[in-house]
Amino acid sequence: MTQDGEPLVGVAPEALQQGTTVAANIKRQLQGRAPLTFDYFDKGRAAIIARNAGVAYLFNKISVRGFLAWFLWLGIHLYYLPGLSNRWLVLVSWIRDYLTKYRALLHIFGLKNSNLSNKLKDKKI
Ligand SMILES: Cc1cc2nc3c(=O)[nH]c(=O)nc-3n(C[C@H](O)[C@H](O)[C@H](O)COP(=O)(O)OP(=O)(O)OC[C@H]3O[C@@H](n4cnc5c(N)ncnc54)[C@H](O)[C@@H]3O)c2cc1C
């Protein structure tokens, strides 16, 4: 999907706004009105890059980095989750992972002494 000749990047904020537009357009069409065109409002970008570290660029104006950007990322994601119970579940699992330093990705790097990595080393796979 493009806007003003530029491709949209395909992130969740776009999907959220597209969903709202689609719902509004279904409603409009049921009322016999013409659908609205989709107009994406870019609120910015945020990403976590490490424990307690993130980067964010808000409204194409404000750059934030470090702990504040990390915290902002968490807050934004919690805010946009549907339902209070989902938010609580995610928050509790984040707190658990933060305190225990659990990282699912370590399973990928944990191949070092596994059968799979030995087979890879011996080129049996
Ligand atoms: C690995 C990964 C990391 C990402 N990280 C980020 C990120 O950090 N930040 C960010 O903003 N975006 C991120 N994205 C992009 C973001 O996930 C997508 O832009 C967003 O989920 C798109 O939302 P959607 O509702 O259009 O589609 P989806 O979230 O894919 O939802 C579509 C739903 O429809 C269901 N479905 C499909 N076909 C049928 C069918 N025939 N019948 C019934 N149900 C069906 C699917 O099961 C799915 O639940 C990431 C994507 C990936 C893959």
The one-letter amino acid code at 43 reads K
pLDDT (0 to 100) of residue 15 = 94
Q: Say whether pTM exceeds 0.85.
A: no
Query: Atom 12 (ligand 1): residue with closest C-alpha?
Result: 11
Among 1, 8, 9, 11, which is best to mutate for testing ligand 1, by the most ligand atoms less than 8 A from CB? 11
pLDDT (0 to 100) of residue 56 = 95
pLDDT at 125 over 70: no
The pLDDT > 70 percentage for the chain reads 82
What confidence category does residue 1 fall into, taking pLDDT thresholds of 50, 70 and 90? confident
Q: Phi and psi dihedrals of 94, rounded to 5?
A: -65, -45
Q: Is 9 in the pocket of ligand 1 (CB under 6 A)?
A: no
pLDDT (0 to 100) of residue 6 = 84
3-state secondary structure the chain: CEECCEECCCCHHHHHHHHHHHHHHHHHHHCCCCCCCCCCCCCEEEEEEECCEEEEEECCCEEEEEHHHHHHHHHHHHHHCCCHHHHHHHHHHHHHHHHHCCCCCHHHHCCCCCHHHHHHHCCCC
- Name the more confident of 108 and 19: 19
Atom of ligand 1 nearest to the CA of 47: 8
